Amino acid sequence: MKIGFDNEKYISMQSQKILERIGRFGDKLYLEFGGKLFDDYHASRVVPGFLPDTKINMLSQLKDSAEIILAIFSGDIERNKIRSDNDIGYDREVLRLIDAFRSRDLYVSGVVITRYSDKQPAVDSFAGQLERLGVRVYRHYPIEGYPKNPKFIVSDEGFGRNDYIETTRPLVVVTAPGPGSGKLAVCLSQIYQEFRRGVRAGYAKFETFPVWNLPLNHPVNLAYEAATIDLDDMNMIDPFHLEAYGVSTVNYNRDVESFPVLNTIFTHIYGESPYKSPTDMGVNMIGNCITDDAVVCAAARQEIIRRYYQTACAFKRGRAEKEQVYKAEFVMSRAGLSVDDRPVVAAALKRAEQEGSPAMAIELPDGSMITGKTGTFMGPAAGALVNALKKLAGINEDIDLISPIILDPIRQLKTKHFGSENPLLHSDEVLYALSICAATSPTAALAMKQLPKLRGCEAHSSVMLTRADQSVYRKLGMNLTNEPNRSGNRLYL
């Protein structure tokens, strides 16, 4: 994989920028952390060289000065909102994040449930679970007119009604299991509450995308729009920054809309605002660490196409609206792209047409295109994986890595004892079988050693894959897309 980003430079610059911002305010800085602190595979796909855990590694360098607040929107708990990248509900993701932070010796001071209202049984149950686990829980309430009624918001009936979150360190990172969780409102509420207690607190935002110092229609910024279609985000020139400095910078609609609120709060507290624009609020250095724009652009264009497929499949599964598919298509057209610009798509569809059944294609690092079909024992996703491992290991494609003597009992177990209606083996089942064979077969062991080489490979299926197959491809670090078609008459995937 070609690299277009200096990760070490980024960690150094970003840490220094945050420290500078802490020093600017005195007592305390509330830092809104947008995007993912862990496993930021969107950033690593769009900016090759950016490691998925770069941001948490950077934050770990500041752990003695930092604590973490997790925000989760009560409505996401009620409707059991699921993260699309790992199929984990937002409530369970909060627990996973707390464990992950603690494993790195990062202090989590509590969880705040935003826009909380009475008569939310699922929310109260989750809050009770957190408290039984020893996690402090706070509640913030809906504010009428937010964010367009600053006078009411900055009052005892507005932010003043919220629970005050007790913090002890100079850097308070506010993060969330996903977008739309209310992180900004939590930060602003705390600044107001701190002021009432005689503490001088400031605010800054660490949002990886959009990149403020890249052009509005740069593929990296368009990839952000494609990734946030469910939020209806839209990149735009920051009008406040343009008016204040005469310089065009990129921000997005929600920050631009919220900026007057922030200005009003600071003016109310200090008599003036330290920021003249939403761009001023940010501490994002990612644009300064891109080393090869051509590499980054190529990667971002592929992400735009991948996001189109993700949205189209989400619509077929009932998780997205048709308007979102139209918007994904529109973003793709703005970037001058079509699905034909993703080579692995054509390879999968061609094999499916030849076989008259679902097929899969994987593009290896050297550009080789490997396909898999629906077989006697394996589904196309599993078949393509096995064929890819053979190719990477230099094993003849006619050699059976796993004997039918082993595969058939697994199939019998699925259908006769586990009640599965699908006799074909999924990717995880086949890899488990391969790992067992590797104990006695040097050929199978050689194939298993190739698994790390699949990370970053492109893959496409002619039909929507099952959760099991999608999970394996995701865990292997492969960039998977699916045609928005169901396999046969199956409704549940």
Q: 493: closest CA among 462, 461, 468?
A: 468
Cα gap 329→226, rounded to integer Å: 9
Q: Is the torsion defined by CA of 253, 255, 261, 264 positive or negative?
A: negative
Helices (H), 181-277: 183-196, 219-227, 239-245, 253-270
Q: Is the torsion defined by CA of 235, 240, 241, 245 positive or negative?
A: positive
Q: For residue 82, what pLDDT is reported?
A: 84
CA dihedral angle for residue 127, residue 129, residue 131, residue 133, rounded to 10 degrees = -150
Give the CA distances from residue 366 to residues 311, 350, 360, 391, in Å, rounded to whole numbers and listed in that order: 29, 20, 18, 11
Q: Is the torsion defined by CA of 188, 99, 10, 181 positive or negative?
A: negative
Bridge-partner residues for 282, per DSSP?
205
- Render 434-485 in DSSP notation, one character per residue: HHHHTTT-HHHHHHHTTGGGGTT-EEEESSPPPHHHHHHHHHTT-EEEE-S-
Q: For residue 490, what pLDDT is reported?
A: 60
Q: For residue 38, what pLDDT is reported?
A: 84
Q: How many CA atoms lie within 13 A of 199 on its CB side?
A: 18
Q: For residue 284, what pLDDT is reported?
A: 93
Using the 8-state DSSP alphabet, how is residue 229 labeled? Answer: G
User: 137 and 111 in contact (C-beta within 8 Å)?
Assistant: yes
Q: For residue 488, what pLDDT is reported?
A: 60
Q: Which domains does the chain have, with CATH numbers?
A: 7-214+249-289 (3.10.630.10), 354-486 (3.40.140.40)
Q: Is the torsion defined by CA of 296, 206, 86, 178 positive or negative?
A: negative
Cα gap 51→7, rounded to integer Å: 7
Using the 8-state DSSP alphabet, how is residue 5 labeled? Answer: B
User: What are residue 30's phi and psi, to 5 degrees?
Assistant: -95, 115
Give 42's contacts (C-beta < 8 A, 6+ positions apart).
35, 36, 209, 223, 227, 303
Q: For residue 146, what pLDDT is reported?
A: 83
For 170, the token pair is: 């100079």
Report the Cα–Cα distance between both ends of the chain, in Å, rounded: 32
Cα gap 17→212, rounded to integer Å: 15
Q: For residue 218, what pLDDT is reported?
A: 98
- Write the burial class of residue 205 (CB in 10 Å: 0-12 exposed, 13-18 middle, 19+ buried): buried
493 residues of the chain, pLDDT tens digit each:
789 999 999 999 999 999 999 988 878 999 999 888 888 999 999 999 999 999 999 999 899 999 999 999 999 999 998 887 777 899 999 999 999 999 999 999 999 999 999 889 999 999 999 999 999 999 999 999 887 788 888 899 999 999 999 999 999 999 999 888 999 999 999 999 999 999 989 999 998 999 999 999 999 999 999 999 988 889 999 999 999 999 999 999 988 988 888 888 888 777 889 999 999 999 999 999 999 999 999 999 999 999 999 999 999 988 899 999 999 999 999 999 999 999 999 999 999 999 999 999 999 999 999 999 998 899 999 999 999 999 999 999 999 999 888 898 988 888 888 888 788 999 999 999 999 999 999 999 999 999 999 999 999 999 999 999 999 999 999 999 999 998 765 655 5
Encode burial over 313-339: b for 16+ CB neighbours within 10 A, e otherwise. bbbbeeebeeebbebbeebbeebebeb
The 3-state DSSP class for residue 107 equals strand
Q: For residue 489, what pLDDT is reported?
A: 58
Give the CA distances from residue 178 to residues 71, 91, 358, in Å, rounded to whole numbers and listed in that order: 9, 10, 33
User: What are residue 71's phi and psi, to 5 degrees?
Assistant: -110, 135
Cα gap 367→448, rounded to integer Å: 21
Encode burial over 214-245: b for 16+ CB neighbours within 10 A, e otherwise. beeebbbbbbbbbbbbbeebebeebebbeeee
